[in-house]
Amino acid sequence: MNNPLAWTPSLRCFAASAINVIFAMMYLVVFAYAYWYPTANPEINQAFLPTAAGVVAGTGSVMAGLMLISYWLRHKPGKMPGLILFTIALCTWVIVFSTYFYGMFTHLYAGVALVAAWVVGLSLFSARDMLLNLVLTTVCNSACVLLAHFGWIPYAPFFNTTVSGIGQANSGLLRPFNGITLVLLGVVLAIVYFIVARWKQREQELVTLNDSHALANDIISRYVAIQLTDQVRLGNYAALARHERRRLTLFFSDIKGFSDTADAIEPEDLSLLLNEYLSEMTIIAQRFGATIDKFVGDAIMIFFGAPHSTNDRDQAQRAVQMGIDMQKSMHLLRKKWMDAGMSHPFHIRIGINTGQASVGAFGSQQRLEYTAIGRQVNLAARIQAHCTPDKVLISQSTWALVHDSVLCISKGEAVFQGSRDPVHIYEVQDVGTPSVDNFVDNPLDNLSKTMPDKTCDVLMTK
């Protein structure tokens, strides 16, 4: 709303008419002062004041009506050429009679009013629209000067005498210095036009550039974690480039028997189902503020604690609750898919582990990936592979942070490849068939809104 270029045509007309209404009220105040205190303003023609006040009051009333109509139409789409034409014509009339009242060559106000009106007009309307204003103003003011030069109309009737002593029929109206004044006025108007035109062009370029950047950010955020796009947008490049050793809560999930499912159904149907599944998991992950590391076919890697971090307990609790919500969401998805005739519904395994990892940008100079690596990352992946389908399995380190808020049962110790010591693992018990009525934010409501394009249907079957 702060940029006039973004206003609707009716709102621009409202602004122009409102400015004129304000100045009409100021005129009337000045006229009243000059009328009641004639000795304080001896240069003013008292006999002309009622005429001037009548013209200003009538024009102000019409402007007030135009202002109300424009405000009423402010949200109406369309170009509204008739409303703009009437507004410009009425504003031209205001400039013409103001210039005539005070005299083109007599009072500083005439030149200031012309320049000010030109600036406001070019800011609110297009150069093509303002060309009409320029032509009408030039023709009418020139006619007034010529008529006054030949004595057919009074020159500057608002004053008894003019500062330069020109008088009403003095041939000096067309003398050289007045010609120079007109040339200088034309030069000023041309400079103003150039400045305002460049400003409007620059503003339009910025609008286009912002739209392009918004589209680019939206596309990029589909390929990398939204936290990373936020950091790039804020200019925190160094925070993403360096490697840090952090305590993360790491999450892995994949679909049981995905390769068999991929062989059993058509690739087009499989890609639609996989995109729907990944879309739903993404919605849930974003709701918990997780950093989505990557999709590898049907597998998902997520972590909490980078690039933004809170504390170990909060991050572990959000990761576990996210896994619970994902499993509950899968119940709803499977029901939807089975109702649609899918004979191989997805069942997912989820593994969560908390531990130290190296996080940052890894790759080459040409291509980088913001990810986490280390023994604890591998352990989270292997806990996920050890998990029973439709369950959430967590390590001892994660259990220690969430056991007071999440019901878990011990599954004993297990030895995983790459781990020197046995790892005590726990199965989360809050996973169950959800009641849709109990969901405050039913994830399935967002499926159609966040479905990725088919151009993203890249499958990597195991």
pLDDT at 170 over 90: no
Angle between helices 81-102 and 49-72 (to 10 degrees): 160
Summarised one tens digit per residue, pLDDT across range 336-371 is 988 888 777 899 999 999 999 999 888 887 778 889
* pTM given for the model: 0.56
Tally the C-alpha atoms within 13 A of residue 273's C-alpha that lie toward its C-beta.
Answer: 26
- Residue ranges per structural domain of the chain: 4-218, 242-456
> Do the beta carbons of residue 340 and residue 377 sit within 8 Å?
no
**Residues 155-163, mean pLDDT to the nearest whole number:** 72
Nearest Cα neighbor of 294 from 83, 460, 438 is 460
Q: How sure is the predictor about 61, in pLDDT bands with cuts at 50, 70 and 90?
A: very high
For the domain 242-456, what is the CATH code? 3.30.70.1230
Paired tokens of 345: 């519904």
Summarised one tens digit per residue, pLDDT across range 328-337 is 999 999 999 8
Residues 6+ apart with CB under 8 A from 386: 351, 393, 414, 416, 425
Q: Which pairs from 287-291 meet CB under 8 Å and 24+ separation?
A: 287/322, 287/325, 287/441, 288/318, 288/319, 288/321, 288/322, 288/325, 289/318, 290/251, 290/318, 290/319, 290/322, 291/225, 291/227, 291/228
> Do the beta carbons of residue 248 and residue 304 sit within 8 Å?
yes
Summarised one tens digit per residue, pLDDT across range 419-458 is 778 999 999 997 655 543 333 343 334 333 333 333 333 3
Q: Is 280 exposed, middle or buried (0-12, 13-18, 19+ CB in 10 A)?
A: buried
